[in-house]
């Protein structure tokens, strides 16, 4: 048994934030059906360019390796067609959850908005993941992760103090502010439905998710008027004891000796006892402390420093590449890399990252690999009562694919 077994999800998402949200649900056992648009020439050319896909075999291979498509089936509906909207309405009748990531109002025009779905199914939990929310001055603006973290104040805090903001990967707004917050909102609404019997609307704005995650710094602004600065806060590069240092082999090592006892342990382990009184030094002395640490770390390789410091009760870590992170023995022991049978591709197997949500009694799992667009259209329509001739007719008229 899995935690979300029996929960039916319709996934109308096209991009990573919503797709990651439904992946979290699918990994925990939800039955997720991707409601995709048909793969016309323009969409096919764009997606092949983005994913580096060349041909049908590559498309199947991409789907097999793509975590954002796993544990999901796919039906392709042209929602501009009334008949396709009617099919979607039939799918919505027993659905527990609908997730979409369009700009506000788009799905209303396609007959798949919240009010329409709620009129069909009052128990539905309908989640919209957007950049700026369903109302407000910016609700209709286009955007991506970099824009959302800009407006939330996060981008301005990342980077060196005297440099321009450093652009992080699209993890903060897309995957955390959108995907994870969306999943939490949906699960909360499902819990509430157990008490009230009714579904509800979940409005997730990625920019607000980022601002919410900045709550500790926001509290300082609102209570004391103190605003963090790029590279000036102790947790964003402004402190020698919470920083990264280059090592002898031209790699990097991270140190987080925030607590005084961690700082003491670090200084003694590195033979830098003269730095003990200067953990919170400022000005020129702070620069001296940082320089001393930087020079000391150049004496050994990254891995040598890890072996020397990992058991000294200090918060330290090796700055990994993604491949190194996957190969790390701790990640392997914890089961964070899965090897899965894949009969649809020449390799016969794929490796994927596992879910990080470890449940003791109802663990997440990969039940099947990713689906290509429209892979289950015929099967899903048959489940809705369409016969083979009707399905063929709908496909011929490009209502479905």
Where in the sequence numbering do the catalytic residues fall? 144, 174
Q: What is the DSSP letter of 240?
A: T
Alpha helices in 235-301 (DSSP H): 260-269, 283-297
Q: 348-353 and 337-342: which strand pairing? A: antiparallel
Q: What are phi and psi of 352, to 5 degrees?
A: -140, 160
Cα(11)–Cα(35) distance, integer angstroms: 6
- In 3D space, the residue among 44, 45, 7 whose CA is nearest the CA of residue 28 turns out to be 7
For residue 340, the SS3 value is strand
Tokens of 213: 């995650």
Cα(299)–Cα(247) distance, integer angstroms: 7
Q: Determine contact, residues 140/130, Cβ cutoff 8 Å.
A: no
Those residues whose C-beta lies under 8 Å from the C-beta of residue 119, and which sit 6 or more positions away, are none
Tokens of 30: 């939800």
Angle between helices 181-196 and 206-213 (to 10 degrees): 100
Q: Determine contact, residues 53/59, Cβ cutoff 8 Å.
A: yes
For residue 154, the SS3 value is coil
Angle between helices 302-309 and 260-269 (to 10 degrees): 120
Bridge partners, 9 (sequence order): 32, 97
Residue count of the chain: 401
Q: What is the DSSP letter of 179?
A: I
Torsion angle in degrees (nearest 10) through CA of 218, 219, 222, 223: -160
For residue 248, the SS3 value is coil
| Torsion sign, CA atoms 36, 41, 46, 52 | positive
- In 10 A of CB 229, how many CB atoms? 12
């Amino acid at each position: 048994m899995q935690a979300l077994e029996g929960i039916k999800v319709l996934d109308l998402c096209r991009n990573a934030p919503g797709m990651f949200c439904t992946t979290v649900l699918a990994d925990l056992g939800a039955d997720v059906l991707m409601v995709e648009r048909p793969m016309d020439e323009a969409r096919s050319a764009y997606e092949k360019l983005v994913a580096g896909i060349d041909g049908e075999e590559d498309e199947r291979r991409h789907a097999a390796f793509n975590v954002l498509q796993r544990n999901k089936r796919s039906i392709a509906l042209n929602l501009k067609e009334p008949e396709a909207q009617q099919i979607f309405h039939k799918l919505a009748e027993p659905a527990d959850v609908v997730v979409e990531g369009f700009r506000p109002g788009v799905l209303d025009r396609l007959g798949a908005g919240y009010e329409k779905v709620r009129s069909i199914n009052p128990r539905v939990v309908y989640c919209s993941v957007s950049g700026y929310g369903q109302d407000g001055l910016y609700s209709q603006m286009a955007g991506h992760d970099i824009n959302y973290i800009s407006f939330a104040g996060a981008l301005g805090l990342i980077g060196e103090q005297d440099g321009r903001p450093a652009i992080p990967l699209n993890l903060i707004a897309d995957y955390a502010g959108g995907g994870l917050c969306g999943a939490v909102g949906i699960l909360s609404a499902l819990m509430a439905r157990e008490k009230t019997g009714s579904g509800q609307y979940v409005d997730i704005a990625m920019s607000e998710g980022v601002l919410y995650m900045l709550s500790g710094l926001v509290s300082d602004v609102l209570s004391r008027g103190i605003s963090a600065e790029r590279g000036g806060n102790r947790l964003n590069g402004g402190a020698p004891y919470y920083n990264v240092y280059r090592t002898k082999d031209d790699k990097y090592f991270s140190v987080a000796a925030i607590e005084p006892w961690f700082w003491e342990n670090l200084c003694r382990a590195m033979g830098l006892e003269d730095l003990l009184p200067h953990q919170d030094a400022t000005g020129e002395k702070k620069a001296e402390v940082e320089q001393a640490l930087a020079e000391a770390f150049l004496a050994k390789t990254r891995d040598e420093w890890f072996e020397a410091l990992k058991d000294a009760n200090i918060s330290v870590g090796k700055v990994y590449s993604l491949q190194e992170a996957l190969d790390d023995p701790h990640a392997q022991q914890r089961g964070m890399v899965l090897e899965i049978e894949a009969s649809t591709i020449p390799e016969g197997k794929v490796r994927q990252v596992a879910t990080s949500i470890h449940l003791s009694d109802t663990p997440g799992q990969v039940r099947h690999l990713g689906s290509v667009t429209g892979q289950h259209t015929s099967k899903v329509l048959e489940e809705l009562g369409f016969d083979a001739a009707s399905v063929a007719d709908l496909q011929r008229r490009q209502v479905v694919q």
